[in-house]
Amino acid sequence: MAHGYDSTLFYLKYFDKDCSESVRSVRQFLKDTAPAFIGVSLMSIDYYKAIDITKIIREVLPETTVVWGGIHPTIYPEMCLAFADYVSMGESEQTLLDIAEAAQNKTGFEKINNIAYKKAGQLIKNPLNAPLENLDTLTSYEHIPKNCFVLEQKKVLPLTEKLYKIYDKTQGNSYSVVSSRGCPFSCTYCCNNFFKNLYNYKKIRRRSVDQIIEELERAVCDYPSLDFVNFEDDSFLSGSNDYIAEFSEKYSKKIKKPFIVHSIPVSITEEKIIALKKAGLAWVNVGLQSGSDNVLNDIYKRKSLKKDFVKATQILKTHHVAAFYDVLVDNPYETEQDKLATIETIFSIPKPFIIRVFSLTFYPGSELYDRFVTDFPELSEAYLEKNFCLPTNENYNQILKMIPFIFKWQSRLLISAFKRNPKGKILTLRVFVVKYVNVLFIKPFRLFKLIRMSYQGSYLVTMLNLRRYFVHYISKHLPAFSYFRNKGVLPF
């Protein structure tokens, strides 16, 4: 749109090909829009739904070119070309403009860089554009995009602020921004592992501080109700001390909103946290992944060990920064001793904090996938349907999530039972009882303390914003609540 092309963005978060009303609405929307080409952006878990929507496109607009892009088509272009006309590999901002120009001029896409296609049954992969060096040349994202539609309640509707609040877990009060590309690490389970090999490129690219501030000033002006800014970078704190200092100074003067950053443990230093805290740093998300150095070293090849993580948590506690820490679970290569090491690591760090557990998923293109398919060939395509946000309910996973909130004596009861028998009935019973006591009586009060910390200790500001957290908490633990709220039955 910034380059003068008419463009429509269409979200299909909850698309069901077996719902006749939804399919009818999508078909009519496609017919009314009648674009020159359609791009389908997907991750691996979206693969089957991408097939479904592409089949509908073929029925409604048989002459329209369909291009798939995103991480999955980049890794597996040939697999995706069984359904798409073309695949766009890697970073595709320039490629999309080249496609739009070719579509407007009615010329082919075969000579465009980053494009893969099939010719006479043979896979053709065009050269890749070099990774974009100057991220400032990219158009900033919009909080609620123009000319954007969503499939909601089986109907295609314009994406309004009201609809956005339904879909967004912060009810639209958080603004997401990306200020860099790349990660210092190349962990064996991560797509960065693939991208570094694809481009033979390891540099982390950063937008200028001035351009970031300009985008945020516009967002705050357009949406004065914004409460938080969320920096979605793989590791925001990997920036140099000078970069962090410049950002902190300008952000504190011009934006004045609490913000969230993501980081790897080794990038967290006293100097950076002090500067960011003065600017409004409220939350830091840090990846532990495992409390076992054996897993971190030998399985994930992650250049951050338990001692680095513990040191980072102490710095965050000292400067009263709220934190949530990520752990990978459901790892078939972890031993019970590895799991115990993770539990004990979480137990040892200073409270308050939140633990987020993610189910380890083996994605093609990652180093760990090659090992996994050799050991578990029957599960080689599990990644196409597995949701990494839905870990199993085994005792270990439940304990990790509870330790930040429950009393120490409760944690010790669980740990002692885990040591005796990780799958035993005694542990299962204890987990069941503690889990519901935690959710009903302990966790809400611990979360209140953490939320208050994120608002610089202010009871007033915390109480003014508590409703949003309450809605999220109830929705998480009582799915029926979300259903009725989205239906408009509830008054909030």
The identity of residue 143, as a single letter, is H
Q: Are residues 68 and 208 in the same domain?
A: no
Q: What is the pLDDT of residue 491?
A: 47
Q: For residue 277, give both structure tokens.
A: 């805290």
Contacts with 210 (C-beta within 8 Å, 6 or more apart), sequence order = 250
Total domain count, the chain: 2
Least reliable range by pLDDT among 281-290, 417-426, 434-443, 473-482: 473-482
The yes-or-no verdict on residue 488 having pLDDT over 70 is: no
The model's pLDDT over 199-242, given as tens digits with 9 standing for 90+, comes to: 987 789 999 999 999 999 999 999 988 999 999 999 999 999 99
On average, the pLDDT of the chain sits at 93
Question: Residue 425 and residue 416: Cα distance in Å, rounded?
Answer: 13
Interval 53-75 mean pLDDT: 97
Q: Are residues 121 and 16 in the same domain?
A: yes
476 or 265: which leads in pLDDT = 265
Is 191 inside any structural domain?
A: yes
Q: Are residues 263 and 349 in the same domain?
A: yes
- Domain enclosing residue 190, as ranges: 168-392
The yes-or-no verdict on residue 37 having pLDDT over 90 is: yes
Is 432 inside any structural domain?
A: no
Q: Are 124 and 117 in contact (CB under 8 A)?
A: yes
Is 480 inside any structural domain?
A: no
Q: CATH no. for residue 49? A: 3.40.50
Interval 265-270 mean pLDDT: 97
Q: Are 60 and 27 in contact (CB under 8 A)?
A: yes
Interval 263-275 mean pLDDT: 98
Q: Across-strand partners of 284?
A: 261, 323
Domain boundary pick from 135, 151, 180: 135
Question: Residue 405 and residue 465: Cα distance in Å, rounded?
Answer: 21
Question: Residue 464 and residue 456: Cα distance in Å, rounded?
Answer: 14
Question: Residue 206 and residue 278: Cα distance in Å, rounded?
Answer: 22
Interval 40-62 mean pLDDT: 97
Q: DSSP states of 386-424 as a string?
A: --TTS----HHHHHHHHTTTS-HHHHHHHHHHHHH-TT-
Q: What is the pLDDT of residue 304?
A: 95
- Report the share of the chain in percent with pLDDT over 70: 97
Q: Are residues 179 and 127 in the same domain?
A: no
Q: In this structure, what are the phi and psi dihedrals at residue 324, rounded to the nearest 5 degrees? A: -130, 135
Q: Are residues 58 and 198 in the same domain?
A: no
Q: Are residues 75 and 210 in the same domain?
A: no
Is 55 inside any structural domain?
A: yes
The model's pLDDT over 425-472, given as tens digits with 9 standing for 90+, comes to: 999 999 999 999 999 999 999 999 999 999 989 999 999 888 878 877
DSSP-derived 3-state class of residue 481: helix
Q: For residue 279, give both structure tokens.
A: 């600017």
Domain boundary pick from 392, 413, 447: 392
Q: Any alpha helices (H) in 143-291, and if so which ranges?
A: 161-167, 191-199, 209-222, 241-254, 270-279
Half-sphere exposure of 134 (CA within 13 A, CB side): 3
Q: Are residues 34 and 80 in the same domain?
A: yes
Is 18 inside any structural domain?
A: yes
What are the respective helix, strand and coil percentages of the chain, to the nearest 5? Answer: 50, 15, 35
Is 328 inside any structural domain?
A: yes
Q: What is the pLDDT of residue 140?
A: 85
Burial of 328 (0-12, 13-18, 19+ CB in 10 A): buried
Confidence grade of residue 479 (pLDDT, cut at 50, 70, 90): low
Q: CATH no. for residue 189? A: 3.80.30.20
State how beta strands 155-158 and 148-152 pair.
antiparallel
Placement of tokens 């090999």 in the chain: 197
The yes-or-no verdict on residue 489 having pLDDT over 50 is: no
Q: Are residues 298 and 341 in the same domain?
A: yes
Q: Are residues 77 and 202 in the same domain?
A: no
Confidence grade of residue 483 (pLDDT, cut at 50, 70, 90): low
Q: Are residues 130 and 193 in the same domain?
A: no
Confidence grade of residue 272 (pLDDT, cut at 50, 70, 90): very high
Between CA 162 and CA 166, with CA 164 as vertex, the angle to 5 degrees is: 75
Confidence grade of residue 247 (pLDDT, cut at 50, 70, 90): very high
Q: What is the pLDDT of residue 487?
A: 52
Q: Are residues 126 and 65 in the same domain?
A: yes
Question: Residue 334 and residue 338: Cα distance in Å, rounded?
Answer: 6
Is 186 inside any structural domain?
A: yes
Q: Are residues 294 and 366 in the same domain?
A: yes
Q: What is the pLDDT of residue 486?
A: 52
CB atoms within 10 A of CB 350: 12
Domain boundary pick from 79, 111, 135: 135
- Report the share of the chain in percent with pLDDT over 90: 85
Query: pTM to 2 decimals?
Result: 0.92
Strand residues in 37-85 grouped as ranges (E): 37-41, 65-69
The yes-or-no verdict on residue 490 having pLDDT over 70 is: no
Is 459 inside any structural domain?
A: no
The yes-or-no verdict on residue 90 having pLDDT over 60 is: yes
